[in-house]
Amino acid sequence: MDILDRIVQLIETLDVLIALATGAGAATVVLRIARRRRHRGFWRLRSPIQMSLCVATSAATNTGKYTRYATGVGQVRALSDITHSLKQAYGEDADPTVYMSESMPAEAVRCDLVLVGGSKNNTVTRRFLDAVFDDVGLRFDPDDENIIVLDGVRYETEVSNGAVQKDYALVLVTDNPFCNGRRVFLFAGSHTYGTGAAGRLLREDLIEKRFFLPRRFLCLAEITVDQHLDLTMKTVLFRPLKPGTHA
């Protein structure tokens, strides 16, 4: 698939060159094609229609008749960037089925899968990271699921006077351990700020600054927080991944 991905990218680059050569409306066409190429270069989906999006369950309210699940602000912020990118890449074909992690059907993981939120509130994220740990070396600390552990190195949030000062944002793209031939996209953070900033990491770094992304990779960024705003973001590491046992 890596070779096919490169062929698709070359074809789209040719589209840009043709648009430049033909003139009429060239600037608009070039911008549209280039934007689509950047976003598709991240997702690389065969069929965006067959996609599940699983959001962390941050709260559960018993209404007396049923349980109403809710997610958090960080997940909502990340979702805004995720869904925008999918629309830029695939237009109206990008309409994933959205589930809360606590009520997601078992069969819904057997497709291209977007996970939003870490192991603490997203049980599907926990299952996924357990399944790919031998290949990726990443997990949230079982004793404190606000701590990201990568190859034995602990990335811990800094808190002062009851407020988060530093957080971490994580984007992981790799093979789906629940279904061969499918992919998983994980957007998570240590706390709310990190999870929200995972969407920023997609928008500001992975799409805008990296022309050729590998098919499988892990990206971790440090977030500086001030007055409840994640002001600065610094990439800590970017690591291409080899095909795992589920490729």
183 token code pair: 């992919």
Cα–Cα distance, 161 to 156 (Å, whole number): 16
User: Which element (helix H / strand E) includes 192?
Assistant: helix 192-200
pTM: 0.86
Tell whether the torsion through CA atoms of 11, 16, 20 and 25 is positive or negative. positive
Q: Is the Cβ–Cβ distance between 199 and 189 less than 8 Å?
A: no
Tell whether the torsion through CA atoms of 110, 151, 116 and 169 is positive or negative. negative
User: What pLDDT score does 52 carry?
Assistant: 94
Exposed, middle or buried: residue 137 (CB in 10 Å: 0-12, 13-18, 19+)? middle
Q: Per-residue pLDDT for the chain (247 aa), expressed as one digit of tens each? A: 455 455 445 545 555 555 555 554 555 555 666 778 889 989 998 777 789 999 999 887 888 888 888 899 999 999 999 999 999 999 888 888 899 999 999 999 999 999 999 999 999 999 999 999 999 999 999 999 999 999 999 999 988 888 888 999 999 999 999 999 999 999 999 999 999 999 999 999 999 888 789 999 999 999 998 877 767 899 999 999 998 776 6
Partner residues linked to 219 by β-bridges: 171, 238
User: What pLDDT score does 64 carry?
Assistant: 82
User: What pLDDT score does 209 carry?
Assistant: 82
User: What pLDDT score does 1 carry?
Assistant: 47
Diameter of the chain by CA atoms?
A: 65
Q: Please state the length of the chain.
A: 247
Cα–Cα distance, 131 to 5 (Å, whole number): 26
User: What pLDDT score does 212 carry?
Assistant: 84
